Amino acid sequence: MDAARYDRTRPRYPDDLITRLLAAAPGCDVLDVGCGTGIEARQFQAAGCTVLGVEPDARMAGFARDAGLPVEEATFEDWPARGRTFDAVVAGTAWHWVDPVAGAAKAAQVLRPGGLLAPFWHVFQLPPEVAEALAVGCRRVAPDAPFSFQPSVPALAGYQALFDKAVDGVRQAGAFGEPEQWRFDWAHTYTRDEWLDLLPTSGALTRLAPDSLAEVLDGVGAALDAKGGAFTMPYTTVAVVARRS
């Protein structure tokens, strides 16, 4: 993964999410699980928080450190807390890599009373013609790969199983009040070049050889040219939020 490209292109999180979380938390000491390059951590820092990142990928962790974020390299389950406590444990598009029960139990150990556990994710659905161009290109260069860009159900419904898994993990950990789901709807307009810059960071495309990736990007670029060179992506950001008992 190209950490610089990832940081440059991946969408930020809604300001309303950051504001609401900090209004609900007992303070501003934040632990960012799976912090990646530090995208959401920098948003919390800009809001006045002290943030510590935990990240297992050395490339991502190094980029985040260079951007001014203290980061400790570990999976969350194996990360040594050493008695440290926090007002919020957050995870931006990362909690699905954490065991949901063990992760919630670990969060409970490091959260102060009333502190928040808040993993959150972006949900989006590509315009049909962009999704089709992406699917056609991927099928051409990797016909046996299980790529799917046109879900049979709306994207938010498709992601609900992910949210439910996080909720079940919190309940099984037994140290939190009943989890809530917070929803934030927004949109972002991508130019052709911006979208083609982001695509190589997507899970399915990171596995393609450079020549195959270039062929896929050419097809998607042609589809975007036919749409006038830009499109608006509707996003929904969903947070699963639980308060430490």
Domains of the chain (ranges; CATH) run 3-125+152-189+234-243 (3.40.50.150)
* Distance between CA atoms of residues 63 and 71, nearest Å: 10
What confidence tens digit (pLDDT) does each residue in 151-164 have?
A: 556 788 889 999 99
Mean pLDDT, residues 85-106 taken together: 98
- Whole-angstrom CA distances from 179 to 99, 144, 241 are 17, 40, 5
User: For residue 174, is it left (φ>0), alpha (ψ between -120 and 50) or beta?
Assistant: left
Quickly tell me which residue has 């999180």 as its tokens.
13
Q: In the predicted model, is pLDDT for residue 134 greater than 60?
A: yes
pTM to 2 decimal places? 0.93
Strands (E) located in the chain: 29-33, 50-54, 71-72, 86-92, 111-124, 180-191, 230-243
| 117 Cβ contact list (under 8 Å, min separation 6) | 88, 89, 104, 107, 108, 111, 170, 176, 241, 242, 244
Q: In the predicted model, is pLDDT for residue 147 greater than 60?
A: no
Mean pLDDT, residues 165-175 taken together: 97
What confidence tens digit (pLDDT) does each residue in 175-203 have?
A: 999 999 999 999 999 999 999 999 999 87
- Whole-angstrom CA distances from 86 to 12, 55, 82, 116, 189 are 23, 17, 12, 9, 36
Mean pLDDT, residues 84-95 taken together: 98
Identify the three-state secondary structure at position 242. strand
Share of the chain above pLDDT 90, in %: 81
CA atoms within 13 A on the CB side of 214: 3
Query: What pLDDT does 129 receive?
Result: 85
